[in-house]
Structure 1
Amino acid sequence: MATEPEPFAQTLLARAHPPAVAKALYTERVVKRPLYIRATSPITSARATRRQTQNARKAKARARSALKPRPLSAAQKRALGLLEIPKAQQKYELYEGLHKLWAGYMVEILGLGGDGGKPFVTPASAGQQLASADMHGAIVEVVRSRCPSRVGLKGIVVRDTKFTFEIITAKNAVKAIPKEHTMFRYEVPVPKKEREEQKRPLVFEVLGEQFQTRGADRANRKFRIHYQPDL
């Protein structure tokens, strides 16, 4: 009867240890060696780790955004009356200070102030600044319109929307004037220097139909001079 060959590991141990010691080491260290097995031991790769990190970051961002209050819609603003000027604040003298601030703002963007101010203004040099300027506080007057009843209306701009100018007149009345098919005129006072007579203000006219942009959007928009068929 053929005997089974001795295991290779036991043969190696027998070369370094006596036969009894080699057999004992083989039995305890190899045959009876415990094998630990985990129920869940996934092999995570670098891509899986990045995906888990990104998902955790997105979950935290969604949790933070859920705590932030959402902005009111246009319908909610109208229902709360946030877009209306209270009757007690519909007074022309309350907005005269706003007009003075606007006049200083226009002098600054046109470069008319100081000793190095421009002697004159041309469409090529200041057309872009005039087209993108904020009109809140300007005193505008309707000089041309398809609706004859609007011609001659004049007041301080209290709200510049996409399609209308809301002005308050000297009679403390708030008027909403559509920009479409309407020509507006406004003046920019020129500051005088010492020992110099007061100069005439600069007069500009704006075609409202080509001005149908919100003030915030108009600041970053580029305008080009081109032919207007309505003129």
Structure 2
Amino acid sequence: MTTPKPHIAQDLLSRAHSPDTAEQLFTERIKQKPLYLRPTSPTPADNRSRRRLQRLRKKEYFYRKQRPQPLSARQKRVSGLYDISKEECRYEVFKGLHELWVQYMQEVLGIEKSADKGNNGRPLVISGYAHGSKLVSADYHGAEVEVVRSRCAGRVGAKGIVVRDTKFTFVIVTKGDVVKTIPKEHTVFRFTIPSTPIKASAEETSNNDKMEGEKTKDFVFELHGSQFENRPVDRANKKFKWRNIDYV
């Protein structure tokens, strides 16, 4: 019976160390060393899971870099994005908005500048050719409008602050805290802008009235809704041309 040959590692260790140390190192580092095994080629199931993981990572990266899509009109209606709660639909709540709108329109028409310069005692003249494009492209959220002409007689006389300006309608809140939706088509609206700056004090206003010799009149405008069927965003960047329109 042949004796087994010693392990090559044991032979090398015996040359460098004593017999006890060589035996201890061979036992701890050679015999008792764990051997980790893995298959040389993955199974088809592993290939499928790896491809699926790669697809998920690519999709996650794509969604992370992609901008969120805007909500559709149906999603906005379902989510109630444009709904106004009944607690907020009060005239007193939007009264402050109307005062801000008056200051905004006075700045657009140049009423504040003419008041600061004094205008040499002459009243400010507003014409369609000079100020028509500014009035058309202005924002009317907060304007207090009154229906003066309409095909529906029940809408005539309705007056309130505009809380929503859509393409085809004006949504207003009346002094009785009633929300009304007035279509623009075949409807004429009237709104008023004070001729004196709203920031001016009572003494300054009285002095100006005495200098002019008569009480200043406010500017009254009429807005034809059939020619005003545009959203505020579209009106701000749109160029309008002056033309006369005959109404029967």
Normalised by the size of structure 2, how large is the TM-score?
A: 0.64
Match of 2:135 in 1: 130
Cα shift at 1:224: 2.0
Match of 2:167 in 1: 162
For structure 2, the residue ranges without an aligned partner over 5 or more in a row are: 1-58, 210-214
Match of 1:213 in 2: 230
Match of 1:150 in 2: 155
Q: 1:200 aligns with which of 217, 220, 237?
A: 217
Give the root-mean-square deviation of aligned CA atoms.
2.2
Match of 1:53 in 2: none
Cα shift at 1:70: 2.5
- Counterparts of residues 166-181 of structure 1 (less than 5 Å): 166-181=171-186
Match of 1:223 in 2: 240
Give the structure, 1 or 2, with the largest relative contact order (CA under 8 Å, sep 6 or more).
Answer: 2
Cα distance in 2, alignment partners of residues 63 and 88 from structure 1: 39
Letter aligned with residue 101 of structure 1:
L
Cα shift at 1:230: 2.9
Cα distance in 2, alignment partners of residues 223 and 208 from structure 1: 15
Is 1:189 aligned with 2:201? no
Cα distance in 1, alignment partners of residues 68 and 87 from structure 2: 30
| SS of aligned partner of 2:148 | strand
Match of 2:82 in 1: 83
Cα shift at 1:113: 0.5
Match of 2:100 in 1: 101
Normalised by the size of structure 1, how large is the TM-score?
A: 0.69
- Counterparts of residues 104-119 of structure 1 (less than 5 Å): 104-114=103-113, 115-116=116-117, 119=124
Cα shift at 1:167: 0.4
4+ residue segments displaced more than 3 Å: 61-65
Cα distance in 1, alignment partners of residues 71 and 65 from structure 2: 15
For structure 1, the residue ranges without an aligned partner over 5 or more in a row are: 1-58
Cα distance in 1, alignment partners of residues 182 and 65 from structure 2: 39
Cα distance in 1, alignment partners of residues 112 and 193 from structure 2: 12
Letter aligned with residue 153 of structure 1:
A
Cα distance in 2, alignment partners of residues 135 and 82 from structure 1: 20
Match of 1:44 in 2: none
